[in-house]
Each structure stands twice: as structure tokens, then as C-alpha cells.
Amino acid sequence: MLRSVEDPVATVHDWLLNIVAALEPETTAPGDEDLFFHLREEVVQFVNPDTVDQVRAFPEPLRGLGLVHLLDQHKARPRTSPVQIEEAESLINTFLDRDANEIGEVMADPNIHTARDVLEWERKQK
């Protein structure tokens, strides 16, 4: 799975994402689901995607968390308006459900590349 010898960091990121995505919390002891979610969240934060295009390369179970990470980063920017923060928080709640249809819709739209694009997509859906 090594992308290239010249890019070992990307290779490690791919490896981590695939391992964490393959973990199935449904097959573990009751109560361990939070541990799996937290581990997935930590790995996504470690990989630190900057664009929706990078999130598209994530294994499917982690794409919602990748979008959550992008929107969290967008909220933290100094010039983000209170309205955009509210919109981002609403979408974050949606994307935390890894089975949400909206994740697939955002991933399938070739015109969405940034967190701002995701927010514009949400406005058009209303």
C-alpha cells in the first residue's frame, strides 16, 4: 500500500486510516463503541485533512469524521461569521452519523472542495 518511497508520511496516514476504518465497534464488548469512535476521531485529527478532496480519499467509514474535522477547522478561523458557525455546527451533528446520506452526497459532488463549499451546498439543500 506504499504510495511512494518519497512520501512515507502519506503512506503512514493511509495505513492508519485503513486500520482504524476496519475496526468494527459492533463486534466488540458493549460499551467499547466510544473507544472506537474516539480512536477514529484522533486518527482523523492526526491526518488533518485540509480539503474535501483529501477526505474523499479516506476509507468510507471515516469520511463523515473527515468532514466534521474540516468544519471544526472552519469554525475556528477568526473571520468566520456567527451564521457560518451555526451552519457548520448543524452539519457537524449530521456528519457525526456515519450513515448519514448527506456524507455521500457531499462526497459525490465534484464541485465541493472546501469547508466553505460544504456550507454553500447545505444552503442550496434548504
What's the pLDDT band for 106 if we cut at 50, 70, 90? very high
Q: How many angstroms separate the CA atoms of 67 and 60, rounded?
A: 12
pLDDT at residue 9, rounded to an integer: 65
pLDDT at residue 2, rounded to an integer: 39
Residues in the chain: 126
Q: What is the DSSP letter of 58?
A: S
pLDDT at residue 6, rounded to an integer: 60
Higher pLDDT: 7 or 56? It is 56
Q: How many angstroms separate the CA atoms of 70 and 114, rounded?
A: 8
The interaxial angle of helices 33-47 and 63-76, nearest 10 deg, is 60
Q: What is the DSSP letter of 2?
A: -
Average pLDDT over residues 102-126: 95
Indicate the pTM of the whole model: 0.83
What's the pLDDT band for 3 if we cut at 50, 70, 90? very low
> Is the predicted pLDDT of residue 94 greater than 90, yes or no?
yes
